[in-house]
Chains A and B, each alone.
Chain A
Amino acid sequence: MAKLADIENEFIRQEIEEYIERPDERGHLIALYSKISPEMQTLAAGVIDGQHEAVDAGTQAALEDGVEALQIMDDGLIAGMAIVGIKFRENFIFVPEVLSCARAMKAGMKHIEPILSASGIEPVGKIIMGTVKGDMHDIGKNLCIMMLRGSGFEVIDLGVDTSPDDFIDAVEEHQANIVGMSALLTTTMPNMGRTIEAFIDADLRDDVKFMVGGAPVTPEFAEDMDADSYGDNAVECVEVAKRMIEEFEAEQA
């Protein structure tokens, strides 16, 4: 079994030592990082530290050195965001730090994305995200989108004040099978349920899974409106989305 000392990069070792408290997560990250090259560990460290210029330059240098784009994304950028997500969930860092980490990841992804799409590599999954009709708040939704993109998902962002028809149109246009809905106001929360009803009326309910979240949204409320899953924060949002992908794969198998 891999040990913390097997990870070359000192910054990454310290991050895991200091911030990753759950044994399962610690074990998973040690196993993950002990297989990652020193060069990619440095890149991941840049994401964790929110160093967008370093990640920008590091990604370009790795591509010039002949590292595969997919490997840079998985071993450098996504591995970095995995630690960022846990630190955020556990209150070691907050929204400002997450935004700067996301900015760093984006600086790397802008070199990776064109290569991946040109070579026809499929994203982990495709997700439609929007704040529901009548609600103009998007901070939480945007954090979720950053974390999802940081985990390799393609996200189509419908912005705020999204009508049920806009969700339906986006699902059809992009052939997506996961819809994420957000609301900050108790008064607009019921529009999540109305959106799900619109999918039933359009005979599309069975084609998609709904995940919901937002400050006043609770697991009970999610169940009440017949959503498929609830996420308490941006990290859980990614976990939920990954689980949904597994469920789709299991259904197809």
Chain B
Amino acid sequence: MSDLLNRINAGEILVSDGATGTYLQSNGLEPGGCPEEFNESHSEVVRQMAANYFAAGSDMVETNSFGGSRYMLAKYDHGDRVFDFNRLAGEHARAAAPEGHFVLGSIGPTGEFLEPNGTASEEEMYEVFAEQAKGLAAGGVDAFCIETMSDYAETALAIRAAKVTGLPVIATMTFDKGPRGYFTMMGITPAGAAEQLSEAGADIVGSNCGIAIEQMVEIVRAMREATDKPILTHVNAGIPKIEKGEIVYPHSPEHMAARIPDLIEAGANIVGGCCGTGPEHLQAFVNVVRE
């Protein structure tokens, strides 16, 4: 079993990293630019980001490869660069990782629907995930983090494709609070996700993005009741607001850190940040977790 899973099974609470997209945007990525292209054109920025999170005390960082599938890269005319962009993403985070720290290969949704509602066949989507996973594995990742998912069938294909590498697989979904409770866009509940993702072979399940930390505590609790697998959660710094024409994520490191014990008590084994969180947030999380 991998070192990552061993440490969790030994009862350790681990800290992941914060946002990638918002970090890159404040370091030169144009609005609407291709983040994964930065692995090639701005390798020092990507490496520095990983170094900052490790310096803040993160036990693991994610690679800059969330939109690194062929489907997504093709929208920026980089559909032929999947392997290289993902390999570089892995290498950059690896280069910044101190001994005993982990690199998670980020895999986001394809943005496509499977047949018959959409045009993608299962075989094609599997190949797309497999191609990305191979690039990340070549770049030296320790595990995969399949994230921001909403569709069970798509996530199961990603899990299966990532598993072929032999590395551990984390799979997390994004929930929204509607009139009848928490659901993904495709109608999956937190409990349903925990069960189904465990069954599909994920070594760690969880939730990321979408809602604020207060709601994430409820989601983690519901997932914990439905699975014995370790749970990872990447939480937004609140719901974005406009202040003086600028978009801001309202939750401070202190606000979030004060609620980290609730997340852990609810059943989270790995805590980290999503949109709007930066190294300062992670530093605050680390201080709470290490206490």
Report the minimal beta-carbon distance from A121 to chain B, rounded to whole angstroms.
30
- Mask of B43-77 contacts with A, CB within 8 angstroms, 1/0: 00000000000000000000000000000100110
* Closest B residue by C-beta to A223: B242
Interface segment out of the listed A60-68, A72-80, A133-141: A133-141
A220 vs B244: C-alpha distance when bound (angstroms): 12
Interface residues of A in 204-231 (CB under 8 A from B): 216, 218, 220-221, 224
Contact A96 B186, beta carbon cutoff 8 Å: yes
Cβ of B185: which chain A residues have Cβ within 8 Å of it?
A: 94-95, 139
Q: A90-B179, A186-B240, A220-B241 are in contact. Are A95 and B32 (CB under 8 A)?
A: no
Q: In the complex the two chains form, is B242's CB within 8 Å of A133's CB?
A: no
Known: A96-B187, A136-B111. A216 touches B240 (CB 8 A): yes
CB pair B31 A134 closer than 8 Å: yes
Chain A residues whose C-beta falls within 8 Å of the C-beta of B275 in the assembled complex: 186
User: A187 is contacted by which of B25, B183, B241, B242 (Cβ under 8 Å)?
Assistant: B25
Contacting residue for B242 out of A95, A185, A221, CB 8 A:
A221
- The winner among A135, A161, A186, A190 for most chain B CB atoms within 10 A is A186
Chain B residues in 8 Å Cβ range of A92: 180
Q: Are B31 and A93 in contact (CB under 8 A)?
A: no
In the docked arrangement, what's the CA distance between A133 and B178, Å?
29
Residues of B within 8 A of A136 (CB): 32, 72, 75-76, 111
Bound complex: CA of A89 vs CA of B178, how far in Å?
8
* Residues of B contacting A161 in the complex (Cβ-Cβ under 8 angstroms): 32, 75
Task: Give the chain B neighbours of A138 by CB distance below 8 A.
Answer: 111
User: Which residues in chain A, 74-122, are within 8 Å of chain B measured between CB atoms?
Assistant: 89-97, 99-100, 103
Interface string of A219-247 (1 = CB under 8 A from B): 01100100000000000000000000000
Q: For residue A187, which residues in chain B have a CB less than 8 angstroms away from its CB?
A: 21-22, 25, 31-32, 247
CB <8 Å contact, B32 and A135: yes
Whether B180 and A91, one on each chain, are in contact in the complex, defined by CB atoms closer than 8 angstroms, is yes
Q: Decide if A178 is an interface residue (CB 8 Å cutoff).
A: no
In residues 159-218 of chain A, which contact B (Cβ within 8 Å)? Answer: 160-161, 185-191, 216, 218
Say yes or no: is B181 at the interface (Cβ < 8 Å to chain A): yes
Q: Which of B25, B75, B150, B181 contacts A91 (CB 8 A)?
A: B181
- Taking CB atoms, residues of chain A closer than 8 Å to B111 are 136-139
Tell me, rounded to whole Å, the shortest Cβ–Cβ distance linking A193 to chain B: 8
| CB pair A188 B179 closer than 8 Å | no
- Closest residue on chain A to residue B180 by CB atoms: A91
Docked Cα-Cα span, A95 to B242, in Å, equals: 29
Enumerate chain B interface residues (CB-CB to A < 8 A).
Answer: 21-22, 25, 30-33, 72, 75-76, 111, 113, 116-118, 150-151, 178-181, 183-187, 239-242, 245, 247, 275
Residues of A within 8 A of B (CB): 89-97, 99-100, 103, 133-139, 160-161, 185-191, 216, 218, 220-221, 224
Given contacts A95-B187, A189-B247, A190-B245, 11 further A-B contacts (CB under 8 A): A91-B180, A91-B187, A93-B187, A103-B116, A133-B32, A134-B32, A135-B32, A139-B185, A161-B32, A187-B247, A190-B31
